[in-house]
Chain A
Amino acid sequence: MSVPQQDHAPRETMNPLLEVTGLRKYFPVRGGFLVKRHVADVRAVDGIDFTIAEGESLGLVGESGCGKSTTGRLVTRLLEPSAGRIAYRGRDITHSTRKELAPIRSEIQMIFQDPYASLNPRQTVGHIVSAPLEINGINPPGGREKRVRELLETVGLNPEHYNRFPHEFSGGQRQRIGVARALALEPKLIVADEPVSALDVSIQAQVVNLLQRLQRELGIAFLFIAHDLAVVRHFSQRVAVMYLGRIVEVGERRDIYERPRHPYTHALLSASPEPDPDDRNATERIRLAGDVPSPVSPPSGCRFRTRCWKAQDRCAAEEPPLVRLEGNREGHLSACHFPEEPTTAARGEDIVLDPALAALEETTADKTL
């Protein structure tokens, strides 16, 4: 068992386990009467690059519709990529057939968001967790049942619950069953798609701690997909921020949370509510206007420009490349023409783009004067 370095190990020395370049997934939109024609594409993922080293955890954050779940499903090859390349241990698996994928599938496992929908209600826990072993024809010493009982114990469930059905468990316990199933094949990479967002607050911590322990003890690499910035910060050594199918900023945890450069990262951090009444005044306040644009026809140039307070003509004409900006540390890449200062401290003036908010705040400010 290898224990990976928790923090800031230079990445060059680690082998990339997963390498993704120029990955794209377009979902066709069909329209028309009787004869359905291909009229447009939903550009769910539109050209992203990232790598995951062995034993490393990469967090993927963004709002709904930014393509983070699609990315997870592309990596596990549950979806067929439209373009780009996915390499696992240097081997191209972008368009591998089922047969070619079979040995790799057991090394890349997935944990799903909804513990109620991802477990078959008609199968016992033992059956659910041993299914991966059965499918891959693995016969561990001592038998499959023994191995399943060990797995249940690893994830903190009672091995005697082997013959129970999913409905007999609470949400947190069900998620543990999902984790045990993902662990059955001793994977090298686990794609966890919002693994805790369906759970109660007090239960979330139990599952996060479990995953963290597994990552440390078993050296499993994680692609950790979540919309909750605080959870991602807690779990991931490196973080990528996605917006409308693109990665806008990626870097080590410290870089993203303490020295963000992309305006969208600033906005996300500012909007993320902290359970601390002092936080309101200590950190910058940015309130965007409106919602994320449709991925069917994303804005030209920089995709964030329609909601960005720094947008200029250049942002519409030219798509900013994801590069290391001046002042950024190694491995911290941002895609912005006019980056922000690398701090999240409060500004002299709040940035309020929402027209209703701005109007209301102006009138109340007038009253107090």
Chain B
Amino acid sequence: MSILTKTEAGPPGPGDPAPSGPFLSVRDLYVQFATEDGVVKAVDGLSFDLERGRTLGIVGESGSGKSVTNLAVLGLHNPRNTTIRGEIVLDGQELTGASERTLERLRGRKMAMIFQDSLTALSPYYTVGRQIAEPYMKHMGASRKAARERAIEMLARVGIPQPRLRVDDFPHQFSGGMRQRAMIAMALVCDPALVIADEPTTALDVTVQAQILDLLKDLQRETGTAIVIITHDLGVVANTADDVMVMYAGRCVERGTVREILKSPEHPYSWGLLASIPRLSAPVDLPLSPIPGAPPSLLNPPSGCPFHPRCAFAEEVGGGRCATVRPGIPEDERRGFACHLGRERKREIFTGQIQPRLGGGAR
């Protein structure tokens, strides 16, 4: 019950309706942008699965390709300078080569997106109610009146006080937290089976963030939606996700359940991420251990393992393999990591150097 759990029948082929298989399945996805400076390899051979009712957290720094992946799933990239290769299968339907018409019918109906910045994602020109009602009218063929009722119902569900009154407000009349709620209402109005939330709470205050994350979780429990949550905040992941995929330079470097990733990570980059953030429970006299250097340019990603120039343990792998051989994750395993380091040595490093920095369970 997690990413990359395969049914006995194997992965669903394109066009093959497989209701028992994973709801969303991405195989060998490559996304490249042509720019003046060259080709940006934003996503570089990514595979993952997501089942109904589960939440997948995608973690990574800016430029790791986490947002691009999901724009590709929704078909929101600019077709003029973007090349996409690989397979994206949503509920048995192949999306990579799908026509704009097909995608349009899916977007808002079957899959929906929650954006980071609610002020730019909502149109300032239309009332909140109208923006929520629009996809309902388009996809469900509902009348204007029924759609308005639906918008009011949705606003109430996401916790907007006096929804009957606020439905005619414009986005600027809402506070940041309320706008984010309205955007959740908009995404959920047609009961989509997949919701992609791209940094849904980054712009919000912590107390409001906690409300929104819990709201998403509770709504998911009610509707059984599959959620992809993209974030750079491991705390958000710990609170929401069932499974986690750690991305670096357009690739997945580690995946597993939230507990596996946060409690016993195996990839040096995951170690770096976990050891570099201050925690409420960690000892304060220990300095943070940052990851040296900066994320690589995707125009010209490092050879071999993309993390090797910043990795403290690359020299321990014999023959300079980190710089030449690209480590992969076996596709069939739900738990995996792309690293050449030996298992024994890894355990040693983790218990010796990393674990003490992660702090005790309770604070």
Identify the A interface with B (CB < 8 A).
6-7, 63-64, 170, 172, 200-206, 208-209, 212, 227-231, 233-234, 253, 257-258, 267-280, 282-283, 287-292, 344-345, 354-357, 360-361, 363-364
Partner of A205 from the list B158, B277, B362, B363 (CB cut-off 8 Å) is B277
Q: Are B280 and A269 in contact (CB under 8 A)?
A: yes
Q: Are B209 and A209 in contact (CB under 8 A)?
A: no
- Which B residues are CB-close (under 8 A) to A280? 238-239
Task: Please measure, in the bound complex, the distance between the C-alpha atom of A20 and the C-alpha atom of B211, giving whole angstroms.
Answer: 34
Q: Are B291 and A275 in contact (CB under 8 A)?
A: no
Task: Please measure, in the bound complex, the distance between the C-alpha atom of A158 and the C-alpha atom of B161, giving whole angstroms.
Answer: 55
Best-buried of B259, B287, B288, B292 by chain A (most CB within 10 Å) = B288
Q: Are B280 and A200 in contact (CB under 8 A)?
A: no
Q: Are B214 and A209 in contact (CB under 8 A)?
A: no
| Contact sample, A vs B, 28 pairs, CB 8 Å cutoff | A63-B206, A202-B276, A203-B294, A227-B205, A233-B278, A257-B363, A267-B207, A273-B209, A273-B233, A274-B238, A274-B279, A276-B263, A276-B279, A277-B259, A278-B361, A282-B362, A290-B177, A291-B176, A291-B177, A356-B158, A356-B159, A356-B215, A357-B211, A357-B214, A357-B218, A360-B215, A360-B218, A360-B221
Q: Mark B27-65, 1 if CB is under 8 A from A, else 0.
A: 000000000000000000000000000000000011000
* B residues 336-363 touching A (CB-CB < 8 Å): 358-359, 361-363
Q: Mark B149-182, 1 if CB is under 8 A from A, else 0.
A: 0000000111101000000000000011110010
Minimal beta-carbon separation of A119 from chain B (angstroms): 17
Minimal beta-carbon separation of A148 from chain B (angstroms): 23
Partner of B290 from the list A7, A205, A360, A363 (CB cut-off 8 Å) is A205
- Which B residues are CB-close (under 8 A) to A270? 210
B interface residues, tally (CB under 8 Å) = 62
Task: Please measure, in the bound complex, the distance between the C-alpha atom of A345 and the C-alpha atom of B208, giving whole angstroms.
Answer: 21
- Which A residues are CB-close (under 8 A) to B234? 201, 275
Q: Mark B236-248, 1 if CB is under 8 A from A, else 0.
A: 1111000000000
- Which B residues are CB-close (under 8 A) to A363? 222
Minimal beta-carbon separation of A268 from chain B (angstroms): 6
Minimal beta-carbon separation of A301 from chain B (angstroms): 20
Minimal beta-carbon separation of A200 from chain B (angstroms): 4
Task: Please measure, in the bound complex, the distance between the C-alpha atom of A6 and the C-alpha atom of B284, giving whole angstroms.
Answer: 10
Minimal beta-carbon separation of A65 from chain B (angstroms): 8
- Which A residues are CB-close (under 8 A) to B181? 356
Task: Please measure, in the bound complex, the distance between the C-alpha atom of A170 and the C-alpha atom of B294, giving whole angstroms.
Answer: 8
* Nearest residue, chain B, Cβ from A63: B205
- Which A residues are CB-close (under 8 A) to B238? 273-277, 279-280
Minimal beta-carbon separation of B135 from chain A (angstroms): 21
Determine if B305 is an interface residue (Cβ-Cβ < 8 Å): no
Q: Are B157 and A356 in contact (CB under 8 A)?
A: yes
Q: Are B290 and A229 in contact (CB under 8 A)?
A: no
- A275 in contact with B215 given A229-B280, A233-B284 (CB within 8 Å): no
**Known interface pairs A201-B276, A288-B207, A364-B221; 17 further A-B residue pairs with C-beta atoms within 8 A, sorted by A's residue number:** A63-B205, A201-B233, A202-B61, A202-B291, A203-B290, A205-B278, A209-B290, A228-B278, A273-B236, A274-B238, A275-B277, A276-B281, A276-B358, A288-B211, A354-B214, A356-B159, A357-B211
Task: Please measure, in the bound complex, the distance between the C-alpha atom of A290 and the C-alpha atom of B166, giving whole angstroms.
Answer: 14
* B residues 268-296 touching A (CB-CB < 8 Å): 272-274, 276-281, 284-285, 287-292, 294-295
Identify the B interface with A (CB < 8 A).
61-62, 156-159, 161, 175-178, 181, 205-211, 213-215, 218-219, 221-222, 232-239, 258-259, 262-263, 272-274, 276-281, 284-285, 287-292, 294-295, 358-359, 361-363
Q: Are B258 and A277 in contact (CB under 8 A)?
A: yes
Q: Are B289 and A268 in contact (CB under 8 A)?
A: no
Q: Are A275 and B232 in contact (CB under 8 A)?
A: no
- Which A residues are CB-close (under 8 A) to B222? 360, 363-364
Best-buried of B210, B213, B272, B289 by chain A (most CB within 10 Å) = B210
Minimal beta-carbon separation of A262 from chain B (angstroms): 13
* Nearest residue, chain A, Cβ from B310: A202
Task: Please measure, in the bound complex, the distance between the C-alpha atom of A289 and the C-alpha atom of B61, giving whole angstroms.
Answer: 31
Minimal beta-carbon separation of A232 from chain B (angstroms): 9
Q: Are B207 and A275 in contact (CB under 8 A)?
A: no
Task: Please measure, in the bound complex, the distance between the C-alpha atom of A203 and the C-alpha atom of B61, giving whole angstroms.
Answer: 10
Task: Please measure, in the bound complex, the distance between the C-alpha atom of A292 and the C-alpha atom of B206, giving whole angstroms.
Answer: 12
Task: Please measure, in the bound complex, the distance between the C-alpha atom of A344 and the C-alpha atom of B281, giving whole angstroms.
Answer: 12
Q: Are A230 and B278 in contact (CB under 8 A)?
A: yes
- Nearest first, the 8 closest Cβ-Cβ pairs linking A and B are A356-B159, A273-B235, A205-B290, A275-B234, A271-B210, A205-B276, A360-B218, A234-B278
Q: Are A292 and B61 in contact (CB under 8 A)?
A: no
Q: Are A230 and B279 in contact (CB under 8 A)?
A: yes
Minimal beta-carbon separation of A213 from chain B (angstroms): 8
Task: Please measure, in the bound complex, the distance between the C-alpha atom of A203 and the C-alpha atom of B290, giving whole angstroms.
Answer: 7
Partner of B295 from the list A6, A200, A228, A231 (CB cut-off 8 Å) is A200
- Which B residues are CB-close (under 8 A) to A272? 206, 235, 280
- A344 in contact with B211 given A64-B205, A291-B177, A291-B178 (CB within 8 Å): no
Q: Are B280 and A233 in contact (CB under 8 A)?
A: yes
- Which B residues are CB-close (under 8 A) to A364? 218, 221-222
- Which A residues are CB-close (under 8 A) to B294? 170, 172, 203
* Nearest residue, chain A, Cβ from B203: A64
Minimal beta-carbon separation of A281 from chain B (angstroms): 9
